[in-house]
Structure 1
Amino acid sequence: MTGSGKALLRVEDLAVHFRADRKRFVRAVNGVSFELLPGETLGLVGESGCGKSTLGRALLRLGPITGGSAYFDGIDIAGADATGIAHLRRETAMIFQDPYNALNPRLPIGAAIAEVLAVQGKVPRAGIQARVAELMAMVGLSPDLADRRPAALSGGQCQRAGIARALAVEPKLIIADECVAALDVSIQAQIINLLIELKSQMNLALIFIAHDLGVVRRLCDRVAVMYLGRIVEMGRTEDVFSDPQHPYTKALMRAIPEIDPDRGLPNDPLGGEPPSPLDIPPGCAFHPRCPAVMPICRQDPVPATRFINACEIACHLYDDPQTNHQSTRERIHA
């Protein structure tokens, strides 16, 4: 793991709820807590609709925060005033899933990058064009493409332009929301290699939101598994992949495609669909699909997280009061 021992981002019991009608709320994010160090990459994984993207947008104040707290480099994200949000915009950036829709179709990519530099005042106006060329070269784009509009570029080139635009603010934190999902496999590998290189060069902290667990395993230092608005397991990437503890995490790992043709599909695939966030079941939200469900799972709230085999777990399977668990900071950052 890279970075110092002081957290760059600290999130505690964060909630994001949306009103569905007069009486009901969608609990998209429902009590999430974690820390992120400078230079560290956290993979955020889970099925569609689990709240990953909502959480990412909330952390950059691109969406609402209903409850809890989040602090970035000393800034109270939830309570930030205009000055605080302006500072957040200068220190953070987001890479979006659709590389075409993330860019202004009428604006050449060089102008889109230059616009960020001008607004944030990162370089003198006379040096903007030189900095645009430098950023494009940094992400593997020829400066000759600066006058091209997004429609004239490939998906991979557009995503590289989006990364260059994100780097223009010289961020300490980037949130990448499914940023390789719309690209073919060979281009995905190039973008992942680029992110690994940039992270090392710039000591970037990165939250990488993804469905592809293989990509997460290669890129991320730690991984957090979300289910219906909550983190159910979190730990060092190799710990989670090699010895998952939560039944949901185990099901996700079993679903990873195997290259070996002699290996068949899992005998016990995870069935059903996640419950609606409008109607979260009592007890553990995963209990209707859990192969290890117990009576307590159907009625009692999910217990406080504890460390099991180096991973932070929220599950009734580990309710033994004698279980030895340490704080997140002690175990993750030891």
Structure 2
Amino acid sequence: MSAATPLLAVSDLRVSYRVAGLDLPALGFKARHVQAVNGVSLAIDAGDTLGIVGESGCGKSTLARAILGLTQVESGEVRYDGALITPRERLSLARLRGQVAMIFQDPYASLNPRMPVGEALAEVLRVHRKVEPQAIEARVADLLRLVGLSPQMAQRRPHQLSGGQCQRAGIARALAIEPRLIIADECVAALDVSIQAQILNLLLELQQSMKLALIFISHDLGVVRHLCRRIAIMYLGQVVEEGLTEEVFAAPRHPYTRALLAAVPDTNPDHQLAPQTLRGDPPSPLDLPTGCAFHPRCPHCEDICASGTRPTLRAARMGQVACHFDF
């Protein structure tokens, strides 16, 4: 990252969920918890793009919600523009939510089904007081045009729109607060491939023209490579590798990153399939292994990997890697 203060900085963030059982230690009952986010640290500069990649259930969406204060944080820090964000600091949290917008995975579920699209955008403008009341209608029309929709769409409800149109409306709602940072959580996963390309190109165009910072959460490495300058790889709640996207794709340092890249399908029929490098299944998040969480599946595992010392991110070329060894 640059020497200047990052726009958003996350430090040793931890989030856990209680999933089962009574919490009565005196009687011998202890609740079970999932460590959804397990000591994540990352940062993004103003105008930059960061992709967060990992298998389903690795903690990507929980991390996004924790950044915005939508999920309770167990420990760690979130700083926005240098200011510490906590639930008690209402002014800092309000500033964060006034400058950071989120685009959700399901375009239909993220909009009120009983509210016309135009009213959904107008509501954001009124709550955040972005324009004078008499200018709201014109601003709604501008936002719809900005995302490639006709202003006449303002009268339609979500069920009257296609998936792509509905996601465009969701992007327009995110832009209504005039954000400095957008967090897009699997925002094209529910769309057809052709519509995905349109939405991705729209996001890239808006990010470049408006100088937005963008955190793009996905399990699709190809999409992240197209969209993001930097990439962070998550495994079982931890960032195991982070760096420039092209550097990570060209020479991945963590065995898990190598396995992910090897699993990307090759459309050339003349190329042989990459050998399977992962063994076994991911461990249960309710019972994480000691040491490196990846060691039960790692082809390079040695005694130190299972010793109980979890590797943390360390400098590696233009990025960071959480591994005991250099590959």
Band of TM-score, shorter chain: over 0.9
Matched with 2:233 is 225
- Cα distance, 1:258 vs. partner? 1.5
Once the two structures are superposed, the pairs formed by residues 100-119 of structure 1 within 5 Å of their partners are 100-119=108-127
Partner of 1:6: 5
Q: Equivalent residue for 1:63?
A: 71
Whether 2:35 is the aligned partner of 1:36: answer no
Equivalence for 2:92:
84
The one-letter code sitting in structure 2 at the alignment partner of 1:49 is G
For the residue of structure 2 that corresponds to 1:224, the secondary structure is strand
Aligned position for 1:177? 185
The answer for the alignment partner of 2:134 in structure 1 is 126
2:247 is equivalent to residue 248 of structure 1: no
Q: What is the CA–CA distance in structure 2 between the aligned matches of 1:296 and 1:119, rounded to whole Å?
A: 54
Offset of residue 95 of structure 1: 0.1
Residues 246-280 of structure 1 deviation map (CA, whole Å, 9 limit, x = unaligned): 00000000111212122243222434332122110
Shift of 1:302: 2.4
1:322 aligns with: none
Distance 2:33 2:71 in 1: 16
Shift in Å, 1:10? 1.0
Instruction: Give 1:4 shift.
Output: 8.5
Q: Secondary structure at the match of 1:317?
A: coil
What amino acid maps onto 1:295 in structure 2?
D
Answer whether contact 1:302 1:316 (CA < 8 A) is retained: no
Aligned with 1:152 (options 160, 170, 193): 160
Alpha-carbon separation, structure 1, partners of 2:222 and 2:263: 11
Render the CA deviation track for 1:128-174: whole Å, top value 9, x for unaligned. Answer: 01000000000011111110111111100000000000000011111
Alpha-carbon distance between aligned partners in 2 of 1:261 and 1:129, rounded to the nearest angstrom = 54
Matches of 2:93 and 2:318, distance apart in 1: 36
Matched, 1:139 2:138: no
Secondary structure, in 3 states, of the residue corresponding to 1:170?
Answer: coil
- Which residue number in structure 2 is paired with residue 325 of structure 1? none
Give the conservation status (yes or no) of the 8 Å contact 2:7–2:44: yes
* Structure 2 alignment gaps of length 5 or more: 24-29
Residue 186 (1) aligns with residue 185 (2): no
The match for 2:14 is: 15
Moved more, 72-81 or 187-196: 72-81
Q: 1:275 and 2:283 equivalent?
A: yes
Q: CA–CA distance in 2 between the matches of 1:90 and 1:231?
A: 27
> Given the alignment, which residue of 300, 303, 318 partners 2:308?
300
Give the superposition deviation at 1:202.
1.3
Q: Where does the alignment leave 5 or more consecutive residues of structure 1 unmatched? A: 320-334
Distance 2:180 2:281 in 1: 37
Query: 2:169 aligned with 1:161, yes or no?
Result: yes
Q: Bigger shift: 31-40 or 295-304?
A: 295-304
Aligned partners of 1:231, 1:120: CA distance in 2, in Å? 34
Residue of structure 2 aligned with 1:258, choices 262, 266, 269: 266
* 1:316 shift after superposition: 1.3
Q: Closer, same or farther in 2 for the Cα pair 1:165/1:274, shift >3 Å?
A: same
Q: Are 2:320 and 1:312 aligned? A: yes
* Residues 87, 93 of structure 2: 8 Å contact kept: no
Shift of residue 80 of structure 1?
A: 4.3
SS in 1 for 2:280: coil
Q: Distance in 2 between matches of 1:144 and 1:32?
A: 44
Find the residue that maps to 2:122 and give its secondary structure: helix
Structure 1 length-normalised TM: 0.91
Give, in angstroms, the shift of residue 293 of structure 1: 0.7
Q: Which amino acid aligns with 1:181?
A: A
Return the letter of the residue paired with 1:294.
E
Distance 1:4 1:135, change over 3 A: farther
Distance across 1 between alignment mates of 2:3 and 2:169 = 30
Distance 1:78 1:188 in 2: 35
Does structure 1 retain, via aligned residues, the 8 Å contact 2:10–2:42?
A: yes
The percent of aligned pairs where both chains have the same amino acid is 59
Residue 86 of structure 1: CA displacement?
A: 1.9
Task: Give the ranges of 4+ consecutive aligned residues of structure 1 lying more than 3 Å apart after TM superposition.
Answer: none
CA apart distance, 1:79: 4.6
Q: Distance in 2 between matches of 1:260 and 1:192?
A: 24
**Cα distance in 2 for residues equivalent to 1:263 and 1:299:** 39
Contact 1:255 1:269 in 2 (8 A): no
Instruction: Supply the RMSD in Å over aligned alpha carbons.
Output: 1.6
Q: TM-score scaled to structure 2, two decimals? A: 0.93
The aligned residue for residue 27 of structure 2 is none
Whether the 8 Å CA contact 1:4–1:38 is kept in 2: the answer is no
Read off the aligned partner of 1:16 and give its amino acid letter. Answer: V
